[in-house]
Amino acid sequence: MEKLLDKFLRYVAVETTSDENSETQPSAAKELDLLRLLRDELQQMGIKAELDEYGYVMATIPANTRKKIPTIGFIAHVDTAPDASGKNIKPQIIPNWDGKDIILNKKKNIVLRTSEFPEMLQYKGQTMITTDGTTLLGADDKAGVAEIMYAAQYMMEHPEFKHGEIKIGFTPDEEIGRGVVKFDVKKFGAQYAYTMDGGEIGELEYENFNAAGAKIHVQGSNIHPGYGKDKMVNSMLIAMELNAMLPEEQKPRYTQDYEGFFHLTAINGTVEETTMSYIIRDHDRDKFEEKKALMSSIVKFLNQKYGKVVKLELKHQYYNMRQEVEPHFFIVERAIKAMEMANIKPKVQPIRGGTDGANLSFMGLPCPNIFAGGHNFHGKLEYVPLESMMKASEVILNIITLFQVEG
């Protein structure tokens, strides 16, 4: 476990927050710092690895058996979400956790409470890795990165472990929906792949949200409030009206399982102009299209009411990968079996989010998603048990063994 922990701590120390306002690929140059490090570490292991101009690390571990086996890949993303700071991350390591509340930051009274997160209690006695209450942790998805790197090192150090050709991929910009926009699936060379980007131990997902992003600009007209009658148009009030017209029950706070939502992620305004950003999500394609249509109809209504002051930009992000994975369902079944071999109870469920695997599946690389072990992603209460990360690496090796045995 020390080798795995060392890798994880080394990777989270590198700031890799992606930037949704950037048009470059990758979106932030600092992502390349970790991508170069990973390429170099792979090469030092004796693995052929390269980093291309778009920020993709691709590596190949050659087969060490003559048996004809499909080439499989394992993929994780290096960027962290812009929702919280990813700079100067200072993880706290708590061996043999006693099951009590964890004080993340005494000065700021930030506490990871078991009453709020009772799922923590299943990890009593394990090694917990948390934040210091000032940043996110980066387990999404540097836990996945570390798990793949650990499995790769194991294979290189144990030539008796038989396997087919294995591909490794590390990507930037997953958190802003652009992780595999320029990923060359043919060059990668895998027939099937798995993203190590899920949550708690046992999670296995092959269906995800259909996803779109909405950017809204409201143009107001600022008049001195003493003389504003029939003249002032307050863009912030129109923005508030727009948000109030969305179904209250379809906000993240009230949704679960297969239920979709509208999520206001940012708002910035003055009387003169206001900008808003939303993400729109639903597992059901028809309901997803209905949500986009509703957003458009609300904008149309407000423009009729106030005179073309609202502009809407709707951008597709990804679709539900289920339709692309189900025809190759045996790759899901092998992941289930690999978990059972590691004494893990599989939790097959829909992703209430996205993954590079969604777009990759539509690009011809069927790609279910496997747990990386973390909880409370994208915020200061993020944590990951080290034992869950070890189990994820074990699952990777078990999947490789199953392909070796079953072809």
pLDDT digits (tens, 9 = 90+) for 130-151: 999 999 999 999 999 999 999 9
Q: Which of the following is catalytic: 19, 174, 282, 394?
A: 174
Average pLDDT over residues 340-344: 98
Residue 174 annotated among the catalytic residues of the structure:
yes
Domain boundaries, the chain: 2-208+320-406, 210-318
Q: What's the whole-number mean pLDDT along residues 251-256?
A: 95
Phi and psi (nearest 5°) for 304? -65, -35
Annotated catalytic residue 79: yes
Give the architecture (CATH level 2) of 210-318: 2-Layer Sandwich (3.30)
The verdict on domain 2-208+320-406 having CATH code 3.90.930.60 is no
Token reading at 401: 């063994």
Q: What pTM value is reported for the model?
A: 0.86
Collapsed DSSP state (helix, strand, coil) of residue 87: coil
Q: Which residue has the tokens 């570390």?
A: 146
- What is the token pair recorded at 386? 């080290």
Q: Which of 15, 41, 79, 165 is catalytic?
A: 79
Q: How many CB atoms lie within 10 A of CB 322?
A: 17
Q: 268, exposed or middle or buried, with CB in 10 Å at 0-12, 13-18, 19+?
A: exposed
pLDDT, one tens digit per residue, over 9-68 is: 999 999 999 998 999 999 999 999 999 999 999 999 999 999 999 999 999 999 999 889
Query: First vs last Cα of the chain: how many Å apart?
Result: 30
The tens digit of pLDDT for each residue in 203-227 reads 999 999 999 999 999 999 999 999 9
